[in-house]
Amino acid sequence: MGMKFKQLLDSGKFVVTAEIAPPKGTDLEQMFHHIELLNDKVDALNVTDHQSSVMRFPSLGGCLAVKERGGEPILQMTCRDRNQIALQADLLLAYTRGIENVLCLTGDAMTVGDHKQARGIFELDSVQLLRAIDFLEEKKDLGGNALNGETAFCKGAIVTPEADPWEPQYNKFEKKVDAGAEFFQTQAIYDLENFTRFMDYARGFPVKILAGIVLLTSARMAKYMTENVPGIFVPQNLIDELSSAPKGGALNKGIEIAGRMIAALKKDSLCDGVHIMAINREEAVPDILEAAGL
C-alpha cells in the first residue's frame, strides 16, 4: 500500500479519489469488483453512506472491504441515521480497523429515499460532527467523558461552489474550516470559470480542495442535473457536445469531457485534486483517468 491519504494531501500531489456505493443487500461481489478495479488506480476510495437516504450495506462495511483489499478508504458519515452515541461508536470502530479518513456530511432528507416514514435524526450537523471528531482525538467523548486509546482522523467535508445563493453556503464552508476540516470535496463542477472564482476564494483557507467530477452519461442526464440538482450547473456547450455524440457514444463523450476537465484542473493547478463520482458507472473510472492522462 502506498502513502496514506493525509500524507498524500500534505505532499502536494494532485490527489484522485473515486466513489463506490455499497449494494442493497448482502451480495457484495460487484462492490468487491469495483474495489479491486480501482484500488490501485486512485489514491483513496470514498464509500457512500446510504446515499440518497436509501438503506444499503453500510459505509463502514464497504470501507472495511477496501481496507482488506489493501486500499485507502474514506468513510462517508451522515448525521441522518445515527445519534451522537452511534456516530462516535462507529468512529471508534473505524479507527481500530485502520479507517482514518472521514467525510462528514449532513445527509440527504429522509423523504427523498426509500424509507420515507423513517425519522431523520440530525442530532448533530456536519459542523458538529467535525467537532465531535476533534473531541475524540482529545480522548473525550461528547458527554465530556474520558476515552481510553487514541484516534487520529483526516477530516473532510463538502462544499457547493455553484450554490445559489452562495453566501450562506460559503459561510458554512468557513464554519467547517473552523471545525477542523482538512479537505473538501465539491459538488459536481462543470464550469471552469466559475470554479476558478470559487478557488480564488477557497485558497484563502488552509484546506485542500478536491473538485467533484460527476460523469455525464447523456445529454438528458446533463440537462436534468442542471435543471434539478441543487448547486449543479452544466454549461449549454457541454450539453450540446453530448447531444452531438454519435448514437451510443454519449458515455464515451462523457468520459472524454470528465477526462478533459481533470486534465485542465491539474494542468493549471486549479485545485488539489479531484473526486470522481461515476454513479453506477464505476467501470468507467479507469477510462476517465486515462482520458485525463493520469
Partner 1 sequence: MKTITRQKPYEEILQQLKFCNRVFVVGCGTCATVLQTGGIEQVSELREKLQGSGLLITGSTVIPTACDEMTAASVSENEAAIQGANGILVMACALGVQRLNFYLDKAVLPALDTLFIGLEEHPGYYMEACAQCGQCILGYTAGICPVTACHKGLLNGPCGGTDKGKCEVDQERDCAFTLIYNRLKEQDRLDLMRHYHPPRNAQVVPRPRVKILEQKEMEQWV
Distance in Å, CB of 104 to partner 1, minimum: 12
State in angstroms the smallest separation of the CB of 261 from partner 1: 20
Is cis: bond before 165, omega within 30 of 0?
Answer: yes
- Least Å from the CB of residue 131 to partner 1: 8
Which DSSP helix (H) or strand (E) runs through 48? Answer: none
Nearer to partner 1 (CB atom), residue 39 or residue 128: 128
Concatenated DSSP letters for 181-231? --EEEEEE---HHHHHHHHHHHTTSS-EEEEEEEPP--HHHHHHHHHHSTT
Query: Shortest Cβ distance from residue 17 to partner 1 (Å)?
Result: 18
Say which amino acid occupies 119.
Answer: R
Nearest approach, Cβ of 192 to partner 1 (angstroms)? Answer: 21
Instruction: Note the residues at the interface with partner 1 (CB under 8 A).
Output: 80, 84, 106-109, 111-112, 120, 122-128, 131-132, 142, 158, 160, 163-165, 167-169, 171-172, 174-175, 178-179, 187, 230-231
Residue 111 phi, psi (nearest 5): -70, -10
CB closer to partner 1, 164 vs 193? 164
Per-residue cell: 262: 481533470
Nearer to partner 1, 70 or 224 (CB): 224
Paired sense of beta strands 44-47 and 15-20, if any: parallel
Cβ within 8 Å of residue 139, ≥6 positions away:
146, 147, 148, 149, 150
Cβ nearer to partner 1, comparing 168 with 248: 168
CA terminus-to-terminus distance, the chain: 19
Three-state secondary-structure class, residue 47: strand
- Distance of alpha carbon 225 from alpha carbon 219, whole angstroms: 10
* Residue nearer to partner 1 on the CB measure, 132 or 276: 132
Q: How far is the CB of 202 from partner 1 (least distance, A)?
A: 16
Which residue, 32 or 135, is less far from partner 1 as judged by CB? 135
